Amino acid sequence: MKSYGQFCPVAKAAELFCERWNALIVRDLAAGPRRFSELKRGVPLMSPSLLSSRLKWLIEEGVIERYDMGEKRPGYRLTEAGEEFVPLVEALGIWGQRWTRRALKEHEIDLGLLVWGLESGSDPGAFGPGRCLVRLDLTDQVDSKRFWWFLNQKGTCELCVDDPGGEVNLYLACTLPDAIYLLRGDISPSQAVETRRLEVLGDSWAMRRLPDWLNLGPLTRIASRRGEHPGA
C-alpha cells in the first residue's frame, strides 16, 4: 500500500480508508457481521485473493476482527475503531446520492450486486411470520440470468437461482437498469408501477407489503442536486 510519507493524522487515516475497496468493506460490515462469501458478493469486481489480503490488513490495523459465526471459517465484524468510521461512510453515501447520481453507464449495470442488494437489504419479516416467495423477472436479460427467486421465511431472505418450488406469492418484472434505479431510490415503487416500468402481480397481501419488503434505506430519500433525474 502506498504511503503519503507524512505523520499528519489526516494522511495516516487516508492511507487506510482511501485505499480502493476499504470503504466498501466497512460499508457492508456496518450492517453487522459478515461471512467472507457475503463480503465478496458486496464487491463483485474484487478478486478473492485481494479481499483476503485487505481483510488481513484491516485486522492488523484494528479496524475489523474475526468473529465466530458457528461455522468452520470465521466471519468478520467491525471493532470500536471500525464503528467510528461508519458515520464517515454514511456521509460519503449522502454526498454521492446528492451529487453523483446520473443515468447508469454500461459498466455500472451490475446484476450480481443488484440481487445481493435485494437479498441482504430486504426485510423478510414484512410479509409476516409465514412463507412468502418472490419471483423477479429481469425482462432484458438472457434466459439464464432472467429469473430470480427470493424465499422469505423464518426471518431470513434467501436468494434462489432455481425455482425452490411452492406457490409464488409475488411476481415482479422490470429491466435490470430499472431495478437498479428502484433500489437506488431514483424512482419509487409507486412511480415505477404507474409508469409501467415495474409490473407487480400476485397475492394482494404480498403486493401491499412490497415497499416494506424492499426496505429502501434513508439514502434513497436524498434528492439529487445535479439538475437531472437519473431514473427518467
Distance CA 70, CA 135 (A): 30
Distance CA 227, CA 232 (A): 12
Q: Are 149 and 179 in contact (CB under 8 A)?
A: no
Terminal alpha carbon distance of the chain: 41
pLDDT band (50, 70, 90) for residue 232 = low
Q: What is the pLDDT of residue 201?
A: 98
Report the half-sphere exposure of 151 (CA within 13 A, side-chain side). 12
pTM of the entire predicted model:
0.86
Q: List, in sequence order, every residue forming a beta bridge with 151; answer none if it has no partner.
A: 133, 158
Q: What is the pLDDT of residue 70?
A: 86
pLDDT at 143 over 90: yes
Q: What is the pLDDT of residue 43?
A: 93
The tens digit of pLDDT for each residue in 52-78 reads 999 999 999 999 999 998 888 899 999
The mean pLDDT value for 188-193 works out to: 94
Q: What is the pLDDT of residue 205?
A: 96
Distance CA 87, CA 97 (A): 15
Q: Which distant-in-sequence residues (6+ apart) come within 8 Å of 85 by Cβ?
A: 17, 26, 63
